[in-house]
Amino acid sequence: MNKIVKQIIFMAIGVIITGIGASLTVKAAVGIGAWDALSLSVSSVIGMKIGTFSMIMNISCVVVQLIMLGKKFKPLMFLQVFVAVLLGYVVNFMLYDVLSGIVITQYYLNMILYLFGLLVIIFGVANVMTINFISFPLEGACIVIADRYHLNFGKVRQWADILSVLIAIAVALIFRNDLTVREGTIIGMFIFGPLLHQFMVALKPGLTKLDLVS
């Protein structure tokens, strides 16, 4: 099988896994990641499914890259639109079809579900990032902004999270909705990065052996 075809297939699997994990953390309702918190806050106000609004946000990140890069925007980078649509579809399917009838009232079970979902997300993201074929739209936009203005990528990505959290909190307060930024968000901020690194280290030998790493 052609290497690019294999990379696309495994990348899609990684995105699907990420979407499943994101759905579990949303269902847990103890706080979610900054970007997802923004999607959930705004989507609940405008009456749109969270996955659908997430698609719009992620595709907007691709548009930002297209505008900033101009002719330097590589055709391969349009695959980020596929990533955005697939991720949003999986989240919608899981939340509104698979998990819709499940009700969890015990806090400790919600926290367990959140932690499990977070691990699933990390596993999915680690696969995509280790393959290094195409990035998630938000990360792609942050990379372009960092390169354009000679900034540190980590700082730009961090500010994207901070801005997302602030907007999510503002929307919740203005429209009197439930806060999507909670203890789970804080937990994720502390353990996501370190665990992502460990997962990438663990996955790289196997993915390299399969000739999937760019």
Buried-exposed string 151-170: b where 16+ CB fall within 10 A, e elsewhere:
eeeeebbeebbeebbeebbe
pLDDT, tens digit (0-9, with 9 covering 90-100), for 129-186: 999 899 899 999 999 999 999 999 888 988 998 999 899 999 999 998 888 889 998 8
pLDDT digits (tens, 9 = 90+) for 97-122: 999 999 999 999 999 999 999 999 99
- Residue 193, pLDDT above cutoff 90: no
Mean of all residue pLDDT scores within the chain: 93
Is 4 exposed, middle or buried, given 0-12, 13-18 or 19+ CB atoms closer than 10 A?
exposed
pLDDT, residue 214, reads 83
Say if residue 81's pLDDT is above 80: yes
179: DSSP letter: P
- The predicted pLDDT at position 18 comes to 97
Question: What are the structure tokens assigned to 9, written together?
Answer: 């297939």
The angle subtended at Cα 146 by Cα 140 and Cα 152, nearest 5°, is 115
User: Can you give the pLDDT at residue 120?
Assistant: 97
Under 8 Å between Cβ of 137 and 80: yes
CA pair distance 17, 186, nearest whole angstrom: 22
- Alpha-carbon distance of 204 to 118, in angstroms, equals 20
